[in-house]
Structures are given as structure tokens and as C-alpha cells.
Structure 1
Amino acid sequence: MTALDCNKCWAECLDVAVEVALKAGKLVQVAAKQEKNVSTKSTPTDLVTEADQQVEDLIISTLRDRFPSHKFIGEEASAAGGKCLLTDCPTWIIDPIDGTCNFVHSFPMVAVSIGFAVNNELEFGVIYHCFDGTLYTARKGHGAFCNGIRIHVSKEKDVSKALILTEIGAKRDQDTLNIFSGNIMKFLSAPAHGIRIIGSSTLALCLIATGSAEAYYQYGLHCWDIAAAAVIIREAGGVVMDTSGGPLDLMSRRVVAAGTNEMANYIVHQLQPINYERDDIDQGVQK
């Protein structure tokens, strides 16, 4: 396939991703008004509903019909023992309902996230905010958009003027909570303008892309939480990296994102790490 052919093909894939994200979002909206059958995965705070599986089935079946040779990484399939293996093959990375706890409580920060990678490189991302209808899209080399309008990150470099976002993660043992609260205290003592936790990694990362916040960090998220958002942030002019300061490792379950390198590097140097097993371990995802 020539470069021109690839360009046309990935553009078509992006168009289909937008269509299926909107369709999935409508399913989430309907499910949000119904009684929810809630169960847990690895911990009492790691929630899953029937809607998670239904939405993922809708997304994957639709995409597989259009692109039968492509590979898929989905949150619920991975939770059931499927492997998270990113190869050179075109691969869709899907979070059917990001913010499941929010969804259960009708807290309006819930999103459908669809990322796409080729040759181990993220090509495009689509994130749909199910409750307010906001659509974020980006393709490598083509910019990032919110409802069709170009978006840009904040260029603030001074942490004392920053709003920082994070998430708690599923692990709630005392040692993990001590590290988590200790990291927050470092930024509050900087002092940053504030810390926010909204319960949806993908939407928090989109807020970095729009310049509504300056930085984001998290330990314990998964590849489907970051794949689409990483493209959106980069195309909005921001940076996405590993918490060590190195390049982003999609399977590492840790990330720092910011509008500027200076802000990202400041965050990196303040963090005490929290250890989670990788997404691509042999036995599949372990929560």
C-alpha cells in the first residue's frame, strides 16, 4: 500500500470511528436512564455494568464488519482474559464506557473512546462525551478538534499558575493511598492553583488538549484510557510521556500529559511511583 493509499484508508477509518462513537454514545445515553446491573472486577471500586459489554460489542462488531483484517483491544474483552498485544497490524483500542463509576451514579463525565494504531504508532483518536455531546477527534499530522473546531493546549509553564488533573485508580490499599495523597500534597504545596479528579481519564486528558487544565498524571490507567487521548493532546500541541520522563509506553499503565515540556517535566520530577502490572503481560490484563 502506497503512502497515498494509506492516507485515504486511515481517513476512511477515522470517519467510521466517528460514526460508531456517536452510535455507541446514544446507547450509553439510553442505558444511563435504565436500571444498571453493576458488578466488580478486581476490587470493590473497579466497577463494570452490562452496558459496558453491550457498547463494546456494538463498537467491535461494527468495525469488524467494515475492516475484517484489523485487530482489536477492548477493555471488557481484556478483562475477560484477552491479551493486549500491539503489533504492526492496524489495531483498534477501545474503551466502551470510560468513567463506569460515573455512569453508575449518573455523574455526567462519561465517554466512549476509540484509538487506532498502525505499525505500533498511534494514528488517530475519537472521544465522545456521552452526556453533553462533545466530540473530540484528532489524526496524526492533521490537528485536533472539538466539535469540528481546532483546539490547542495551554502554554503555561509555571506550576503555580496550573490546574492539575489526576485519577485515583482501582488500588486502595493503605500504601497506595499514602503515595497518592503524598503526590497531591506536593502539587498543592507548589502551590498549584488546584487539583481536580473527574472520574474519566479520557475526558480529563481532553481537558488538557483544550487548554482547560495544564497537566495530568495517573498511575493505573490502561492502554484504552490513553490511546485516543494521546493523539488528541499531541495534535493540540501538547506532550504525552511516561512518568519516568521517557517516551510514552502505551502498555505501562502510567502517563504524564501537559501543554508544555516544562510543565510535564516538573510533574515527572515530583511524582513518587505507584506500581501496576503492565497491560501486555502474558496472562492478559490484571486489574
Structure 2
Amino acid sequence: MSPMMNIAVRAARAAGRVTMRYFERLDAVNIQSKSRNDFVSDVDHAAEAAIIETLRDKYPDHAILAEESGSHAGNAGGDKMEWIIDPLDGTTNYLHGFPQWAISIGFRERGRMQLGVVYDPLHEELFTAERGAGAQLNERRIRVSQRRGIEGALIGTGIPFKDQSQLKVYLRMLEAVIEDTAGVRRPGSAALDFAYVAAGRLDGFWELGLSPWDFAAGALLVTEAGGMVTDLAGSERYFETLNLVAGGPKVQRAMLQRLRPFLGPDLPA
């Protein structure tokens, strides 16, 4: 691991200790509603604070974009170096004791992702990727699946649950994708969904209206594992459109063919 990756992993493990400590006594966790179906807890804030403290100790000039505390500007040009943090991806799962949640930390330089960590402390699975160095799970190389098409593929997704204005078009997309597949799964943590695509556990994944901290690390995991990540139009502008399609190359292209017809005024790329 590079020195920067070591720091990112240290930060992820610090947040993992926080989340695991609270997970054994969820009845004592203070929960607030940010918006409809969007919750935040003491755990999210404490885990995020642990990550930021670790990163700031080594990289005090770098900018930070964090889900709970927002943007932290960099100093002396450090705004071109940015950490993108989700301290607890899958908060709703976590608060219900559902074992599918993770910590996500990504780093980008001048708008280009360079490093990603997705850590599942409950199952002790650490997914890491550095640009040009491949992707790993617990220090073993991982690759996307080599499935040749969508037939028989296992696909992951996320159902629009915060803003349901796109629910009808999403359901039409689901109907188009699910045909011929082995099934579609909606576990509830986008960071882990991307990590599972990178590890070949899922053949593909798509979701609408994500936030950068949901996919910054995971998208790099997929591409470094030999996969493809685009928006619905097939471009790499997904940090702008926030709609993503990921998978092994052939599965990803097959998914795009089924999803593109739904693009329009009500559903931008």
C-alpha cells in the first residue's frame, strides 16, 4: 500500500471501530430525520469525525467533502486534493440491525479519482483500489466477472427512496433489466454494491440519483478491477449526472442498451 492508502485505511478502521461499538446497542443511538426516508444518527457523526481527524492529522491542507458535515475547503492549493467521505453508507440498514453497511473513503486529485476504500467492519472485508494498481479485497487481487451478457447475470440496484419522483421510470427500467437475468438484488448500501461488482459477486449494478460519497470509492474499485462505470448515456460524467451503471464490460454494455430508452426530460443521463 502507498502511504496515502495506509492513512485512508487507518481512517476507515477508526470509523469501523465507532460503528461496531454502537451496533451492539442500537437502542441507545440518537436518530434524526434529515428528510423523507433519510436518517442520520450519532454514529454517522462520530464515525465521520474519526475519519476527518485521521485525515487532517496527515493532510491538513486537503479539502474534504463529507456526507454529514459538507465541504471543508483546502488550504494553499489543497482544494485540488479532495477526500470524499461516507462515514456510514447504509444508515437505514444499520439502524435496523440489517448487516449491510460500510464506510467509504475516496480521494481525488484535480477531479480525478486516485484512491478508494470501502470497509465492511461487520464482516471484516476491506476493499481497496489505487489508480493503475488494481483492486483488492483484504490484500488479494479482485476482478469483475467475465460474464458475456445480461443473460443469467446477477444485478444489483438501488430503489429511489428519498426522492420518489423517478420511481415510475425506475420501475420500468427494472422491468427491462430483470428479464433474462438470474435476479436483481437491492441490499441497501451502494458502496458495497460497487465493491461487490468489483469482486465479481454482482455482475452489474445501476442506481439513480446517488451522491458523490456513495460512489466515489466504489466506482474506482470497479474500474481498477477491470469493469466499466458510466452514466446512463454511456459517458464518464457520472459525478455530474449522479446516475450510474457499473459492471463487467459486456454486462455493463448490455445494461446500457436496456436503460438508454428511458432517457428523456424526466430522466437525464
How far 1:77 sits from its partner (Å)? Answer: 1.5
Greater length-normalized contact order (CA 8 Å, ≥ 6 residues apart): 1
Match of 1:128 in 2: 119
Answer whether contact 1:127 1:202 (CA < 8 A) is retained.
yes
- Give 1:223's match in structure 2, choosing from 209, 212, 220: 212
Match of 1:7 in 2: none
Answer whether contact 2:14 2:47 (CA < 8 A) is retained.
no
- Give 2:46's match in structure 1, choosing from 54, 65, 68: 54
Residue deviations 1:83-120, cap 9 Å, x none?
A: 899x9611100000000001100101110000000121
The answer to whether 1:165 aligns with 2:134 is no
In terms of mean alpha carbon deviation, does 33-42 or 144-153 score higher?
Answer: 33-42
The letter of the residue matching 1:182 is R
Q: How many residues are treated as equivalent by the alignment?
A: 261
Answer whether contact 1:155 1:259 (CA < 8 A) is retained.
yes
How far 1:141 sits from its partner (Å)? Answer: 0.7
The letter of the residue matching 2:200 is G
- Give 2:12's match in structure 1, choosing from 3, 21, 26: 21
Match of 1:258 in 2: 247
Pairing of 1:131-280 with structure 2 (within 5 A): 131-171=122-162, 173=164, 175-189=165-179, 191-260=180-249, 262-271=250-259, 272-273=262-263
Q: Secondary structure at the match of 1:122?
A: strand
The letter of the residue matching 1:19 is R
After superposition, the Cα gap between the structure-2 partners of 1:52 and 1:251, relative to the gap in structure 1 and judged at 3 Å, is farther
The letter of the residue matching 1:33 is E
The unaligned stretches of length 5 or more in structure 1 are: 1-9, 279-287
Answer whether contact 1:219 1:276 (CA < 8 A) is retained.
no
The letter of the residue matching 1:76 is E
- C-alpha distance in 2 between matches for 1:88 and 1:231: 20
Fraction of identical pairs, as percent: 33
TM-score, with structure 2 as normaliser: 0.90
The letter of the residue matching 2:253 is N
After superposition, the Cα gap between the structure-2 partners of 1:84 and 1:248, relative to the gap in structure 1 and judged at 3 Å, is farther
How far 1:265 sits from its partner (Å)? Answer: 2.2
Answer whether contact 1:253 1:277 (CA < 8 A) is retained.
no
The unaligned stretches of length 5 or more in structure 2 are: none
How far 1:218 sits from its partner (Å)? Answer: 0.5
The letter of the residue matching 1:263 is V
Which has the larger strand fraction? 2
- C-alpha distance in 2 between matches for 1:39 and 1:88: 31
Residue deviations 1:39-68, cap 9 Å, x none?
A: 21121x111111111111111122112111
After superposition, the Cα gap between the structure-2 partners of 1:273 and 1:104, relative to the gap in structure 1 and judged at 3 Å, is farther
The letter of the residue matching 1:132 is H
RMSD in angstroms over aligned alpha carbons?
2.3
How far 1:277 sits from its partner (Å)? Answer: 10
How far 1:124 sits from its partner (Å)? Answer: 0.7
Residue deviations 1:173-215, cap 9 Å, x none?
A: 4x522222211111222x1110000000000111100111111
